Amino acid sequence: MKRTAAFSTAIILGEPIEKSLVPVTQMYRLRKSFAAVHFQPAGKGRIVFLPQQAEVRVIGPSCLCECFEVIFENQLYSLFKVDLLGPWSTSIKPKPVKPNSIQPSRGLTVEACA
């Protein structure tokens, strides 16, 4: 007798910003404009350009390959590591952040069945 098993896996992309800010991470000032991905609440991503002199706070790894999640003007973006860590950005001392001033996480969920 054969038995078939089905599994369901849910992956949460990102975590609430409030939890991510507990360990203060690095901040950078961009010396030129860079493309970044901003995920809308519906889960669709759009490409935007962060301006020159933008100050971004690194939150952690992104759900996108070779990217970091960063906050700029209270919005969450995915920015390529090579852009952020290259010679065209400067590490700066982090400013204090009020968790209430940041918009809630997009809370994307991707489900897969095998």
**pLDDT by residue for the chain (114 residues), tens digit each?**
555 544 433 444 444 444 433 335 689 999 999 999 998 877 788 999 999 999 999 999 988 889 999 999 999 999 999 998 888 888 888 666 666 555 555 554 444 444
Angle 63-91-108 (CA atoms, 0-180°, nearest 5)?
15
Q: Is residue 2 part of a domain?
A: no
Q: Is 104 helix (H, G, I), strand (E, B) or coil?
A: coil
Residue 75 maps to a domain = yes
Confidence at residue 2, expressed as pLDDT on a 0 to 100 scale: 57
Please give the residue range of the domain that contains residue 75.
Answer: 20-113
- Report yes or no on 37 lying in a domain: yes
In a domain, 70, yes or no: yes
Does any domain span residue 84? yes
* pLDDT the model gives residue 36: 95
Q: Is residue 3 part of a domain?
A: no
Predicted pLDDT of residue 31? 93
Please answer whether residues 19 and 104 qualify as being in contact, where contact means their C-beta atoms are separated by less than 8 angstroms: no
On whether residue 72 sits in a domain, the answer given is: yes
Q: Which residues of 59-77 are buried (b: 16+ CB within 10 A; e: fewer)?
A: beebbbeebbbbbbeeebb
Pair 56, 84: CB distance under 8 Å: yes
In a domain, 5, yes or no: no
- The per-residue pLDDT for 43 is 77
